[in-house]
Amino acid sequence: MTKQQLLEQDLAHIWHPCTQMHDHQSTFPLIPIKRAKGVYLYDFDEKQYIDCISSWWVNLFGHCNEYINQKLQEQLSSLEHCIFAGFSHKQAITLSQRLCAKLPKSLNKCFYADNGSSAIEVALKMAFHAKLLRDSAFSKSLEHNQESGTFFLSLQNSYHGESLGALSVSDVGLYKRTYEPLLLRNLTIPMPHTLSDYQEVCTTAPDSKLIAHYEQSLSFLESTLKHSTQIVALILEPLIQCAGGMQIHAPYFVKEALRLCHEYNVYVIFDEIAVGFGRSGSMFALEQCSVTPDFLALSKGITGGYLPLSVVLTNDQIYELFYAPYQENKAFLHSHSYTGNALACACANAVLDIFETQNILETNKHKSRYIWQNAQSLQKFAFIKNLRQMGMVCAFELDSINTRKGIEIYNKALELGLILRPLGNTIYFMPPFIINNEQIDYVFVSLQKIFENLSGSWE
């Protein structure tokens, strides 16, 4: 098939995610990809594109990584998949042991699913069910339909996925507004704006300025917890709210929010689907917050961007609530056909091998510094605001009232061989960890070119 035929066949049959398909007529192109290697995707004209967004934040060690390929091929010759109820396999067992060993001791049980949103559904359902089992006043109040309060708390600007439960606890209007009538009861905690001087404020003890920054959110949270008896859990993305515009928050906030919830016997769910596996600078963001949630959801980078897999970790106390001779209302009867897929688990074990043998987190510190130095070249543009960075995420806003300005940048970047995918007016750089200095230089020189050409037509 020629490139043109591929495009025609695609548009005849495929409805792409997160896309107004009409935009492919003229606003931005659809690009069939022929192959990929390292940070590059190649189209059918052999044009190369740097994957500046790690293909929706999943790719850690490059496309067609030789080591992950090898481990995947080895797994293919023995077991591709088997039912995970009543059966198990070595890759999932090894992966679970290794994840638990890397996380706080109490996170000791792994429940697998097959994508980020599904992990959020698992965490919400498990938390709700655990509260029913733990708290008889709660279950009675539901039986008698007393109160019609909220069950979940989440943060302004949060994003936890787009299945209905996950969307209920998300706060990105673009994805949520239309479906509001279908959603679960959730209350959004107001949040202050992102921190841009993260390094300064977060490496030292919280000062009065930082405490004041979060005061309103934390007091709103506390008074909500005080006045409601039906709240099951607070869910949050620790340190970076990614799809909400790469909003960076201090460990102080996460820590205080968790402390308050636990004071009021409310569970805390950390969604590290996007920031886990080194993206925040540490292996898991919770390490920088020095706290342990009741539930932790992981996905995306877990397989290095190879195959869909997710997991929710929880503690023995919660597990024990469900552990009893069979009764329907005590078992957690949630399932997905591809739960614990052996190929995906083999990739995840390969990803952990790479972390363990190649000093990735230390190397990333240097890379992240190099990205930050390069990013300073953008400060000269008056319309670039709020340049910020945390770990392997660097972001800024375009000061424009035109909310589709990002699309113009997206198209210009494609011409120069960069895949950027702005979130509204937020432009971010979140590359695979194997990106090298020369490639980083190319990205920022190209961005300067794009912005120089745009300067004249700014609004």
Ligand X SMILES: Cc1ncc(COP(=O)(O)O)c(C=O)c1O
Distances (CA, A) of 182 to 163, 165, 166, 173, 211: 11, 9, 12, 14, 37
State in angstroms the smallest separation of the CB of 77 from ligand X: 28
Binding status of residue 96 toward ligand X by CB under 6 A: no
DSSP structural state of residue 184 = P
CB of 118 to ligand X, least distance (A): 7
DSSP-derived pairing of the beta strands 267-271 and 233-236: parallel
Return d(Cα 448, Cα 396) in angstroms, integer.
13
Rg (the chain; Cα; Å): 22
Residue number, nearest CB to ligand X: 116
Q: Report the C-alpha gap between 25 and 146 in whole angstroms.
A: 53
Q: Measured from the CB of residue 192, what is the shortest distance to ligand X in angstroms?
A: 19
What number of other Cβ atoms are within 10 A of residue 264's Cβ?
A: 15
Q: Which of residues 145-174 bind ligand X (CB under 6 A)?
A: 159-161
Nearer to ligand X, 114 or 408 (CB): 114
Sign of CA dihedral 435, 437, 441, 442: negative
Tell me how many residues contact ligand X (CB under 6 A). Answer: 14
**What's the rounded Cα separation, in Å, for the pair 129 and 398?**
43
Q: Which of 54, 65, 96, 115 binds ligand X (CB under 6 A)?
A: 115
Q: Which region, judged by CB under 6 A, interacts with ligand X, from 112-120, 416-424, 437-445, 449-457?
A: 112-120
Q: Of 70, 140, 62, nearest to 436 (Cα)?
A: 62
274 lines the binding site for ligand X (CB under 6 A): yes
| Residue 121 tokens, joined | 């559904």
The least CB distance from residue 267 to ligand X, in Å, is: 17
Which is closer to ligand X, CB of 291 or CB of 309? 309
Of the CA atoms within 13 Å of residue 55, those in its CB half-sphere come to 24
Contact string 356-395 vs ligand X (x = CB under 6 A): ----------------------------------------
Give least dist CB 237 to ligand X, A.
5
Question: Which range binds ligand X by CB under 6 A, 221-229, 268-276, 349-357, 451-459?
Answer: 268-276
Binding mask 28-67 for ligand X (x = CB under 6 A): ----------------------------------------
Cα distance between residue 124 and residue 102, in whole Å: 23
Residue numbers at the binding site for ligand X (CB under 6 A): 115-117, 120, 159-161, 237, 242-243, 271, 273-274, 299
